[in-house]
Amino acid sequence: MLYRRYLKPALDRSLAVIGLLLLSPLICAVALVIRLRIGRPVLFRQTRIGLRETPFPFYKFRTMTDARDDKGQLLSDARRLTDLGRFLRSTSLDELPQLWNVVRGDMSLIGPRPLLPEYVSLYSPFQKRRHDVKPGITGMAQVMGRNALGWDEKFQFDVWYVDNQTFMTDVRIMGLTLASVVRRKGISQQGHATAPAFTGNSHSPDSSHFEESETTTLPISSQLANSKSGSPPSTAQ
């Protein structure tokens, strides 16, 4: 409780400020390349949902054009995503502006990814629990498969994190995030620029298979073991 309420927010802001300062040359370089290759605006701004279902302005580097069809409708994400955008997404460089969201207090470094406002009414009571903590730049779902996971899997990992948030869990997730960025796995689902939209579900998954006991191995512990042995990460339920 002490870590969640006091230490984690202080660490988040401190590390985000340090990150912005150290990475400012890279951030400026990425912004310049986007300006030259894709155009203005350099940043993509969108409303996302945070702690206790509070909306906030969410920032990323722009990765798509504004190309439209003959009727003035935006083309699909896959058709608007540029080669530069694919590179930025595969290396997670597009996420760097979210350090500012962390400084503002909208987000944490580690937590469930912030999703769209229109999804809130579609969540089951179990899935809504993901909003009991601040959203993060990275989280359990990202290190366990990222966009290669289905929505049920993502939500189960999100809620597992809500119930198992500790300093050591955050340290492990951060370490696994760096490894995932290097491997560039799980960037998108097959046939999608990232992942299909969430359209609701007919059942509410439970987290019983993530409960800690003497006979269960927590998913993050399994992931750590696999990463040390060189085995591919497991997303089995």
- Side-chain-side CA neighbours of residue 124 (13 Å): 15
pLDDT at 191: 54
Find out whether 56 and 47 touch, Cβ atoms under 8 Å: yes
> How many other C-beta atoms lie within 10 A of the C-beta of residue 166?
12
Q: Hunting for tokens 């799980």 — which residue is that?
A: 186
Whole-angstrom distance, CA of residue 96 vs CA of residue 59: 9
DSSP H helical ranges for 164-218: 167-183
Q: Could you tell me the mean pLDDT of each successive run of 10 residues in the chain, 237 residues long? A: 93 98 98 95 97 97 91 87 92 96 97 96 96 97 85 94 95 91 65 73 49 40 48 39
pLDDT at 4: 92
Kindly report the backbone phi and psi dihedral angles of residue 110, in degrees, each rounded to the nearest multiple of 5, phi listed first: -120, 130
pLDDT at 189: 52
Rg of the chain on CA atoms, in Å: 18
